[in-house]
Amino acid sequence: MARTHRVTLIPGDGTGPEIVDATRRAIEATGVAIEWEVQNIGMTVIERSGTPFPPEALSSLRRNKVALKGPLTTELGKGFRSVNVALRKEFDLYANLRPAKRYRGVQSRYEKVDLVIVRENLEDLYAGIEFEPGTPEWRAVRTAIATAAKQDIRADAAIAIKTISEYNSRRIVKFAFDHARANGRRKVTAVHKANIMKFADGLFLSVAADVSKDYPEIQFEDRIVDNMCMQLVQKPEEYDVLVMPNLYGDILSDLAAGLVGGLGVAPGANIGSEIAVFEAVHGSAPKYAGQNKVNPMALMLAGAMMLAHLGEAEASRRLEKAIADVVAEGREVTYDLKADREDPSAVGTREFADAVIRRMGGRVAA
């Protein structure tokens, strides 16, 4: 008998609940048995619970080990830098996986793009170790840098610290190679700026080269991040899996999303050694909340990634193909996928999901 999977479902806020509902229905239409545990985190619960992370939501995720998550608005007021970053830290979700694939029917300048960006998720400048000018902590750090690095930092300069560890570099590069191996991909490119940041990025690069020796069947190369940006714009078809530290990954994954049609079509996953959270790359798009307007495709593709993660490879392929078919046909798609964004034939979030469900042979309410 087919196994029932238990998955934590986080609706998120803004347009989150609408795209999460569309995605849940599309996943259910694959026939895979899933018991959803709905849990709220972020700004929707902060007033009631006094924290954006209610303990029952965290323990649900700890128990189920897999979540499908709607976008969460970052700005929660003082004391919280980002709910998304905090969630990644809490569950040690060290790998951020962001495929960028061109689907026929999506407006793009490129014909053939099929990249996977693997971004380190926990350290680098992105970890938010920062010092505000004039504070006692800033003074202490400035003095220490003057002594240790013989560099005077201007008195009006804020300070941000970049850390790159061997531990996190090794596990993210290993993750990228394992992903390449499991998915029949041919090449891994390490992206860095080791010519300038000789210790931090230099460490990342030397660890990457070392890890690559364990995967002789997969080609390994490296690129300096600025050159990588240019190459991706000129000839994205030459690249396959790209692995990089956090901040470059943040920037390059939006660049890659731009190559394949924008944020509305880009899925992502945050994966740790035990727990995986699947989401769209885009945010909560609050200006469209409650309007049944935005494209659920990115989260649906994340749903297909989740099915693969759960060992449901066939259902994953079926869902991805149904999405691709609906988009290629171009009739029942949301406004952002129409050549003219004002096209009155664009459908809503719900109707896009209905079209995907019908493609898989499922029935939808009239």
Q: How many residues bind ligand NAD (CB under 6 A)?
A: 19
Which position among 201, 250, 336, 354 bears the catalytic label?
Answer: 250
The structure tokens 């240790």 sit at: 148
Distance (Å) of CA 175 to CA 21, 86, 233, 322: 30, 21, 25, 28
284 scored as a contact of ligand NAD (CB under 6 A): yes
Q: Does 126 participate in catalysis according to the annotation?
A: yes
Nearer to ligand NAD, 49 or 74 (CB): 74
What percent helix, strand, coil does the chain show, rounded to 5?
45, 15, 40
Q: Does 226 participate in catalysis according to the annotation?
A: yes
Segment near ligand NAD (CB under 6 A); pick from 33-41, 69-77, 136-144, 323-331: 69-77
Q: Does 187 participate in catalysis according to the annotation?
A: no
Which position among 210, 226, 235, 343 bears the catalytic label?
Answer: 226
Cα(170)–Cα(187) distance, rounded to whole angstroms? Answer: 17
Segment near ligand NAD (CB under 6 A); pick from 55-63, 180-188, 193-201, 279-287: 279-287
Cα 170 to the center of its chain, rounded Å: 20
Cα(297)–Cα(359) distance, rounded to whole angstroms? Answer: 14
Nearer to ligand NAD, 250 or 312 (CB): 250
Site string for ligand NAD, 256-275 (x = CB under 6 A): -------xx-----------
Distance (Å) of CA 244 to CA 114, 160, 170, 260: 17, 19, 11, 20
H-run or E-run covering 96: strand 95-101
Rg from Cα positions in the chain:
21
Cα(300)–Cα(306) distance, rounded to whole angstroms? Answer: 9
8 scored as a contact of ligand NAD (CB under 6 A): no
Which position among 69, 174, 193, 293 bears the catalytic label?
Answer: 193
* Residues between 331 and 360 with contacts to ligand NAD, criterion CB under 6 A: 336
Show Cβ contacts of residue 51 under 8 Å, excluding neighbours closer than 6 positions: 45
Q: Does 103 participate in catalysis according to the annotation?
A: no
- Min dist CB 306 to ligand NAD, Å, is 15
Which position among 103, 126, 248, 335 bears the catalytic label?
Answer: 126
Both structure tokens of 64: 């189920």
Both structure tokens of 152: 């005077």
Of all residues in the shown chain, the one whose CB is closest to ligand NAD is: 283
Site string for ligand NAD, 217-256 (x = CB under 6 A): ----------------------------------------
> Could you give the residue numbers annotated as active site?
126, 193, 226, 250
